[in-house]
Amino acid sequence: MTDSSTKTRPVNLILLGPPGAGKGTQARMLQDRFGLVQLSTGDLLRGAVAAGTEAGLAAKAVMAAGGLVSDAIVLAVLKDRLDHADVVAGTILDGFPRTAVQAKALDDLLAERGQRIDAAISLAVDDAAMVARVAGRYTCGGCGEGYHDQFKQPKTAGQCDKCGSTNMTRRADDNAETVGARLAAYHAQTAPLIDYYRARGVLTEVPAMGEIGEIAGALDAIVSALTTQ
């Protein structure tokens, strides 16, 4: 883990990328390397509800009624979470912001704390290759080991290398049509957010179709530079 004593404030990152781009994998690796804490919208809300905070109770009421939690509530939950000691090194935001309006509100919240978004890292993918990557995924129902029609098949067809189970499962939405639609929606919804962070000089695009270790190396270089500023 990088020594955070050289920093005067936490480092806050946003990872952008469509489903299947590897955001979760890379976020976990950055947590291990730099002590940053991944904060996903879902986990934040569940944690606030479980803790019974004022913002959590407001979120619980909205979700119980089947509504969408407002930006104001999400920001209140995030504000509470940023007071916890474990985020002293910084955060990796996952799932928020999703729009330029949310990004501006987040900037205002962080500015109140003397912080900012230090880097918005866009994991750039090739759409056609991404469809093939995601649509070919399947999982062992016994132990959860992941496989792929093209990139990682079990040594014995239909049998898990790890636990020997023959119960292989596929997500219903891991098909070419659904993945293509999800990619199109991502690009449409995220384009303004990418432009927002590019205009602020904090956007970096990292090719994300290569090996996990290669992508991790590129992210490490970005974060290492930030933690020594």
- Using DSSP's 3-state secondary structure scheme, residue 100 falls into helix
Of 28, 152, 162, 171, which one is the catalytic site residue?
A: 171
Whether the CB-CB separation of 171 and 178 falls below 8 Å is answered with no
For residue 12 the two structure tokens come to: 């806050």
98 flagged as catalytic: yes
Q: Which class for 141: exposed (0-12), middle (13-18), buried (19 or more C-beta within 10 A)?
A: middle
For residue 13 the two structure tokens come to: 């990152």
- Using DSSP's 3-state secondary structure scheme, residue 34 falls into helix
Of 46, 137, 170, 198, which one is the catalytic site residue?
A: 137
137 flagged as catalytic: yes
Of 98, 116, 170, 198, which one is the catalytic site residue?
A: 98
Determine which helix (DSSP H) or strand (DSSP E) holds 207, and give its type and residue range.
strand 203-207
For residue 188 the two structure tokens come to: 């449409």
81 flagged as catalytic: no
23 flagged as catalytic: yes
Whether the CB-CB separation of 69 and 62 falls below 8 Å is answered with yes
Of 33, 46, 182, 198, which one is the catalytic site residue?
A: 182
116 flagged as catalytic: no
Question: Which residues are catalytically annotated?
Answer: 23, 98, 137, 171, 182
